[in-house]
Amino acid sequence: MLFIYAIAALGLIGLLFGLGLATAAKVFYVETDPRVEAVNDLVPGANCGACGYPGCMKFSEAVVSGEAEPDACIPGGEEVANEIAALLGKEVSSSASPIATLFCIGDNYRAADSFVYDGVKDCNVAGDFYGGHKACSYGCLGLGNCVRVCPFEAIIMGSHGLPVIDKEKCTGCELCAKECPRDLIQMLPRGEEGHLVLCSSQDRGKTVSRACEVGCIACKACIKVCQQEAIEMDGKLAVIDLEKCTDCGDCVEKCPPGTIYQRSAIPSEQEAIAAAAEKEKETA
Amino acid sequence: METLLSIIFIYIFVENFVLHRFFGICPFLGVSRKMETAIGMSMAVIFVMTMATLVTWLLYTYILIPYNLPYLQIVTFILVIASLVQLVETVLRKISPTLYQGLGIFLPLITTNCAVLAVTLLAVRQEFSLVESVVFAIAASIGFSMALVIMAGIRERLELAVMPDVLRGSAVTLITAGILSLAFLGFQGMLTL
C-alpha cells in the first residue's frame, strides 16, 4: 500500500504547485506584441546574427519597435523584407544581399604544402602551427572553418582542398567572411559581371611562384593591358575594381599564372582537378 | 538564539557553500563577470533558497515523514525548487523586465543550481527545526552571494590587469577561485555546531 501513498503525495504536491503556477501566470501575465511573433514566423530562423541582433526573436522585437529596418535580415533577403514591411506597413529601401566569394584558387594540386599537417582540423589551430601547412602563408588552409560556421549549408569542402560556395544557397550573412582566419572570403555584390584576381597573397612574386602555381606574382601585366584603368595594386596584389571592369577579358590572357577569372567562370572542383591532371600529362 | 547566530556565522564564513563545500560552482563562474548581474543573481538565489527550504521542510516533516516516504525527498524537493524558480521568473518578468533581461538564461538555470538542492537536503539531514532551517537557508544563500560578489569584484579588475595571454579568461578565473577558497580556509574550526 506504501506506493499508493507515494503516488498520491507526489501527485498532489505536483498538482498544487501546478495550480499555483497557473494562477501566477494569469495574475502576472505580460502582454506581448502579437506582431513580434508574426515577424518571427517570417524570418528564416537560423539565428545567424547577421542583422546585428542576438537571434531572430530579438531582431523581430527590434523591427516591431522601429529600431531596425525590415530589410536588416540579410538571409531573408528581399522576399522576407517585403513580407515584414507589408505586415508592419513600412517601406523597404531595396538592397540585394551580397554573396561570399573565396579569394584563393590555390588548391591541393597547384599550391604546395610545406609539411604534412596531422593536427586538429581547424584553420585557426593549423594557421598557428608554424604558420600553417600551406607553403603560401596567405592561402586557404582547407580545413573548413567556413563550412562549419555556415548556417545554411551553402559551403562544402571540395576534394581539391578548397571550399566551394553554393551561389543559390548563400544568403550573404557574412559569417564565413568573419570566421576565415586568413580573410580569404569577401562579400561581393550579387551578379556575374566583372573579373576578379582570385588571390590574397601579399608576398613578393618570387615567393608566390615558389608556393603556388596560380597566385598573383605582382607582375602588373594586367594593369598595363587594362584600358579602363580598373586594376590597381594593393601592396603586392592586383585588385580589379568591379565598377570599372567592362569584362573585356584582356587581363585574363595576359596574366602569366592565370589568377584572373571572369566571375561566372570561377573554377569549380571538377575543373580544378581536370586542370591539374592535364598539367601533369604535359610535364610527363 | 545562540544556535541561530552560530548557524549564520558558520554557513556564511566557515562552511561557505561555494568556497568550502563547492556547491553552485556553475553560476559562481558563469555570472560573476559583471557586478550588476552578480547582485541580481544573488537576490534571486536568496529568495529561491529561503522559500525552497521553508516549503520543503514543511513537506518533509508533515507529509513525507508521517507517511513513511523519506525516499521521495529528492524528487519532491526538485519539484518544489523548479516550481519556485518558475514563479520567480513569471513574477520578475512582470515586475522588473530590466533584471529579467540582465539575468537571461541564468534565471531558469537556478533550478539546476546544486546549492539550492543541497541547502534543502542538508536542512532536513541536520535535523534543524523550522526556524533553524530558514535561518540556515538565508545564511547559506548569503554566503553564496558573498562569494559571487567578491568574485565579480575581482574579475572586473582582472579584466584590466596585465597578464600572459594563456592566463586570460577562464584560466585566471579558476586560479582566483582556488586562492579565494584557500583564503576562506582560515575560518576553519573557528566554530562548530
Q: State pLDDT tens for residues B52-102.
A: 999 999 999 998 899 888 888 999 999 999 999 998 888 888 888 877 877
* Residue of A2, A10, A13 lying closest to B68 (CB–CB): A2
Q: Is the pLDDT of residue B174 over 60?
A: yes
Grouping H, G, I as helix, E, B as strand and the rest as coil, residue A51 is coil
Q: Is the pLDDT of residue A99 over 60?
A: yes
Per-residue pLDDT, B88: 86
Average pLDDT over residues A62-70: 84
The amino acid sitting at B81 is: I
Residue B41 pLDDT class (50, 70, 90 cuts): confident
Q: Which residues on adjacent β-strands are paired with residue A240?
A: A231
Residues of B in contact with A17 (CB under 8 A): 79-80, 83
Check CB contact under 8 Å for A2 and B59: no
Interface with chain A: mutation pick from B56, B74, B79, B100, highest number of A CBs within 10 Å: B79
Distance CA A54, CA A271 (A): 40
* Residue of A9, A20, A29 lying closest to B72 (CB–CB): A9
| Any A CB within 8 A of B79 CB | yes
Tell whether pTM > 0.80: no
The amino acid sitting at B17 is: F
Residues of B in contact with A28 (CB under 8 A): 90-91, 93-95
Per-residue pLDDT, B95: 84
| Any A CB within 8 A of B87 CB | yes
- Residue B115 in grid coordinates: 546549492
Check CB contact under 8 Å for A10 and B72: yes
Residue B58, CA distances (Å) to A14, A120, B124, B129, B141 in order: 15, 55, 10, 10, 19
Distance CA A161, CA A9 (A): 63
- Residue B120 in grid coordinates: 534543502
Chain A residue with minimum CA distance to B79: A14
The amino acid sitting at B153 is: G
Residue with cell 572553418: A145
| Any B CB within 8 A of A3 CB | no
CA B132 from centroid of its chain's CA atoms: 17
* Contacts by residues A162-167 (CB-CB < 8 Å, ≥ 24 positions apart): A162/A102, A162/A104, A162/A105, A162/A106, A162/A107, A162/A269, A162/A272, A163/A102, A164/A268, A164/A269, A165/A99, A165/A100, A165/A101, A165/A102, A167/A99
Residues comprising chain B, all counted: 193
Report pLDDT digits (tens) over B104-114.
Answer: 767 787 888 88
Per-residue pLDDT, A95: 57
Residue A118, CA distances (Å) to A21, A113, A135, A140 in order: 55, 12, 15, 16
- Residue A249 in grid coordinates: 577579358
How many residue contacts between A and B have a Cβ separation below 8 Å?
A: 47
Query: Which domains are assigned to chain A?
Result: 34-88 (1.10.15.40), 99-283 (3.30.70.20)
Q: What is the 3-state secondary structure (H, E, C) of chain B?
A: CHHHHHHHHHHHHHCCCCCCCCCCHHHHHHCCCCHHHHHHHHHHHHHHHHHHHHHHHHHHHHHHCCCCCHHHHHHHHHHHHHHHHHHHHHHHHHHCHHHHHHHHHHCHHHHHCHHHHHHHHHHHHCCCCHHHHHHHHHHHHHHHHHHHHHHHHHHHHHCCCCCCHHHCCHHHHHHHHHHHHHHHHHHCCCCCC
Range picked from A27-36, B41-50, B90-99 for highest mean pLDDT: B41-50
Chain B nearest-CA distance from A37, in A, is 18
A119's CB contacts (< 8 A; 6+ apart) are A125, A126, A129
Chain A nearest-CA distance from B87, in A, is 6
Report pLDDT digits (tens) over B150-162.
Answer: 999 999 999 888 9
Residue A96 pLDDT class (50, 70, 90 cuts): low
Chain B residue with minimum CA distance to A6: B69
Evaluate whether B151 touches B33 at the Cβ level (below 8 Å). no
* Residue of A2, A13, A30 lying closest to B93 (CB–CB): A30
Average pLDDT over residues B107-127: 89
Distance CA A27, CA A47 (A): 32
Residues of A in contact with B93 (CB under 8 A): 28, 30
| Any A CB within 8 A of B74 CB | no
| Any B CB within 8 A of A4 CB | no
| Any A CB within 8 A of B99 CB | no
Per-residue pLDDT, B183: 93
Check CB contact under 8 Å for B93 and A28: yes
Q: Is the pLDDT of residue A132 over 60?
A: yes
Q: Is the pLDDT of residue A172 over 80?
A: yes
* Residue of A5, A20, A29 lying closest to B83 (CB–CB): A20
* Residue of A5, A25, A30 lying closest to B69 (CB–CB): A5
Average pLDDT over residues A196-206: 92
Per-residue pLDDT, A171: 84
Residues of A in contact with B59 (CB under 8 A): 13
Average pLDDT over residues A168-191: 89
Reported ipTM = 0.74
Interface with chain B: mutation pick from A21, A27, A29, highest number of B CBs within 10 Å: A21
Residue A75 pLDDT class (50, 70, 90 cuts): confident
Grouping H, G, I as helix, E, B as strand and the rest as coil, residue A102 is strand
Distance CA B108, CA B86 (A): 7
Per-residue pLDDT, B80: 92
Evaluate whether A203 touches A146 at the Cβ level (below 8 Å). no
